[in-house]
């Protein structure tokens, strides 16, 4: 059985290895220099058994795939009512970095766009930015099963060119969504987006996207360590928002064609969850006009159908 699954995974990757559509993310200068040919595919069963194909050990930055995890952490730490008062759950139909809020509530429309993600960072408890970041890092590392580190060059690049996110943060402060200094919240946000991960999980004890997905797929229990990272209610809400909002303004197409909770990032990664069964992590840095990995979207959608 394992041989058949591996063969199928390799087949999926081979079918999409020639994809040259899309472009690298250039608005973060450091991301414009990555190898456009990188292509890794990983699948983790809920018991922790891992399959991998291609460039599964290549590290890349997590970027917006961080969003559901910080949202889950905020839900876990302060409760759903407190989070819902600051962040909505409705699809926005807008670009991920749109400078906008809900017209009536003046809060971010959902946690999977930048406005909602920045607000989620501000809701994670911490007396200082470093304390808040340490809590986020500990949570991500618990999901991954090993300590995660940031890419300092990408962090510096994001911080230097993050004017649009600064505009979003100050807008949120003006509407009473952010508590504290917007620049301090943004510094944590830039750092969390700069965590280095790969598409290989569990078997290499790496911080892979598929492994993070497997953690969610088991109701918050890390499949390798058996440690409960968060509770089922938090996971259910997180997965629900991933279904409706995780693929930016292509979320409707993804939900109708694939149906799995998923999240993409401009670093080229996609994480997808088949709840209770498996997690998928894909890396291919060429993006479509929505900001989603072209080859990654195709592969992630094909994996569970085998």
Domain 1-62+197-302 shares a fold with domain 64-194:
yes
pLDDT at 75: 94
89 is in an annotated binding site: no
Residues paired with 283 in a beta bridge:
40, 269
51 is in an annotated binding site: no
3 Cβ contact partners less than 8 Å away, ≥ 6 residues apart: none
Q: How confident is the model at residue 137 (pLDDT cuts 50, 70, 90)?
A: very high
Q: What are the residue boundaries of the structural domains of the chain, listed by start?
A: 1-62+197-302, 64-194
State percent of the chain over pLDDT 70.
87
Active-site option among 266, 271, 273, 294 = 266
Assess whether 189 carries a catalytic annotation. Answer: yes
Active-site option among 42, 44, 53, 64 = 64
The better pLDDT of the pair 248, 265 is held by: 265
Are 210 and 281 a contacting pair, CB within 8 Å?
A: yes
pTM greater than 0.85 (yes/no): yes
Assess whether 67 carries a catalytic annotation. Answer: yes
Structurally, what CATH architecture does the domain formed by 64-194 represent? 3-Layer(aba) Sandwich (3.40)
Assess whether 154 carries a catalytic annotation. Answer: no
10 is in an annotated binding site: no
Would you call 233 helix, strand, or coil by DSSP? helix
CATH class of 1-62+197-302: alpha beta
The predicted model gives 16-32 an average pLDDT of 91
Would you call 175 helix, strand, or coil by DSSP? coil
């Amino acid at each position: 059985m394992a041989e058949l699954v591996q063969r199928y995974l390799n087949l999926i990757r081979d079918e999409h290895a020639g994809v040259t559509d899309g472009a690298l993310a250039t608005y973060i200068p450091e991301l414009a220099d990555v190898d456009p040919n990188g292509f890794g595919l990983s699948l983790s069963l809920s018991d922790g058994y891992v399959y991998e194909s291609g460039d599964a050990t290549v590290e890349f930055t997590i970027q917006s795939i961080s969003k559901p995890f910080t949202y889950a952490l905020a839900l876990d730490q302060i409760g759903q009512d407190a989070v819902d008062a600051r962040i909505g759950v409705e699809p926005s139909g807008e670009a991920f970095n749109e400078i906008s809020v809900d017209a009536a509530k003046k809060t971010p429309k959902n946690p999977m766009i930048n406005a909602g993600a920045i607000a989620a960072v501000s809701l994670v408890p911490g007396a200082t930015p470093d304390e808040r970041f340490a809590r986020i890092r500990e949570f991500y590392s618990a999901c991954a099963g090993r300590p995660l580190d940031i890419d300092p060059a990408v962090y510096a690049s994001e911080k230097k060119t993050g004017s649009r996110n600064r505009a979003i943060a100050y807008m949120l402060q003006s509407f009473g969504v952010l508590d504290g200094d917007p620049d301090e919240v943004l510094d944590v946000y830039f750092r969390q987006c700069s965590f280095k991960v790969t598409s290989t999980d569990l078997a290499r004890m790496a911080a892979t996207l598929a492994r993070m997905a497997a953690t969610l797929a088991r109701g918050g229990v890390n499949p390798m360590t058996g440690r409960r990272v968060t509770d089922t209610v938090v996971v259910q809400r997180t997965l629900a928002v991933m279904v409706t909002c995780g693929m930016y303004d292509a979320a409707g197409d993804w939900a109708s064609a694939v149906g799995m909770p998923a999240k993409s990032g401009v670093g080229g990664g996609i994480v997808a969850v088949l709840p209770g069964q498996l997690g998928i992590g894909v890396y291919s840095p060429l993006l479509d006009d929505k900001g989603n990995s072209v080859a990654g979207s195709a592969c992630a959608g094909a994996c569970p159908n085998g």
